[in-house]
Amino acid sequence: MTTLPLQDVRNDAADDVRARKISRRATGADAVFEHGARAVGASVLVITGGVGLFLAWQAYPTLQRYGWGFFTETQWQPESDVLGIAAVLIGTFEVALVAMFFAFPLALLTALYISEYAPAALKPTLVSLVDLMAAVPSIVYGLWGFFLVMPRAAELALWLQRHLGWIPIFRVDADPDAAVWDASRYVSSAFCAGIAVAMMVLPMSCAVMRQVFSQTPQGEKEAALALGATRWGMVRAVVLPFGRGGIIGGTMLGLGRALGETIAVLLIISPAFEIKPRILEIGTNTVSALIAGRFGDASAAQLSALLAAGFVLFLITLVVNTIAAVIVNKSRSGAGTDA
């Protein structure tokens, strides 16, 4: 029986405990998933970039012909060779801001109720109902807004003019104290369209906010309650600060959706090519509604102008959604929490 020298034993032990190189390269099913996910993500970028390049290429003749006047002109009269999107851009933002005025508090309160107040047995049903709102077609929201919302919105607009008519945006060119009020002056406005669009953007904003609120560390919530805070105190001190980024991001994602809404707006508004800061008064227009309404009978030159308007709307929504994604990713939600 031979005995190895002590030095050889130590060398063999050192070889056994020497750190092995770890490969980060995925293999098998992991590699298939990694390459598949990478291909899908790249295809989304390629498609989005392709849409942007196509719109830019089609818009170039219009922008070359009209220059900056295309962005400052309010009238859309192809027969007179007068084309501009200043009025429809303002109308687009008016409808979107009205929509977010109604959608933001509803989405925030709905998300808070589902995540913090609703019974556990009721939460899945509420989540499904809110998510189903996003599956309702735009035409249904448009019909709902035209036949049900618009008559009531006109009465609300009349009330707003009577009590807040001294504010320019609530002024209407009609006598609110007349014996028989002129209802036709208060319908088909940015206000009426914004209410319908609000119901369409609410599910998206609510889903983002609810997801962020659900990631609030349970330990921090229990600590606030253990220190004597009420349920609302805990929400105000822990949940809302934690979900600040999600609230902002969800709101901006909803704004991006509201800026591009088409069918519901087209059914409700009365097209008007003028910059109209009075949101309660009949008449407005948006970029998407302009494209949908004029696309069918457009000539080649007008088609290029419509695609130029679409390119501007594409850039606006891209910027808004990018900012929203950055805010959500940089928020505190899900970061630095202990399991």
Residue 326 lies in a domain: yes
Position 12 confidence tier, pLDDT thresholds 50, 70, 90: low
State the pLDDT at residue 22: 67
Written as six digits, the tokens of 178 are 């007349």
Structural domain range at position 203: 67-330
Indicate the average pLDDT of the chain: 85
State the pLDDT at residue 333: 47
Q: What is the DSSP string of 165-207?
A: TTSGGG--SS-TTSSS--GGGSSSBHHHHHHHHHHHHHHHHHH
pLDDT tops 90 at residue 98: yes
Any residues with CB less than 8 A from the CB of 153 and at least 6 apart, and which?
186, 187, 189, 191, 192, 195
Per cent of the chain over pLDDT 70 is 89
State the pLDDT at residue 3: 57
Mean pLDDT of 196-208: 91
**Angstrom distance (rounded) from CA 282 to CA 173:** 10
Written as six digits, the tokens of 172 are 């209407």
Residue 337 lies in a domain: no
State the pLDDT at residue 19: 59
Residue 148 lies in a domain: yes
Residue 59 lies in a domain: no
State the pLDDT at residue 334: 46
pLDDT tops 80 at residue 16: no
Residue 13 lies in a domain: no
Mean pLDDT of 98-119: 92
Is the pTM higher than 0.75? yes
Which residue matches tokens 């090519």? 273
Secondary structure tally for the chain: helices H, strands E: 15, 2
Residue 26 lies in a domain: no
State the pLDDT at residue 336: 43
Strands (E), the chain: 76-77, 82-83
Residue 46 lies in a domain: no
- Predicted confidence (pLDDT) per residue in 299-335, tens digit: 888 888 899 999 999 999 888 888 877 777 766 544 4
State the pLDDT at residue 276: 85
* Residue of 250, 222, 14, 263 lying closest to 110 (CA atoms): 250
Mean pLDDT of 215-233: 88
Residue 299 lies in a domain: yes
Domain count, the chain: 1
What single letter denotes the amino acid at residue 106? Answer: L
pLDDT tops 70 at residue 122: yes
Tell me, what CATH number does 108's domain have?
1.10.3720.10
Higher pLDDT, 136 or 6: 136
What single letter denotes the amino acid at residue 21? Answer: K
State the pLDDT at residue 99: 94
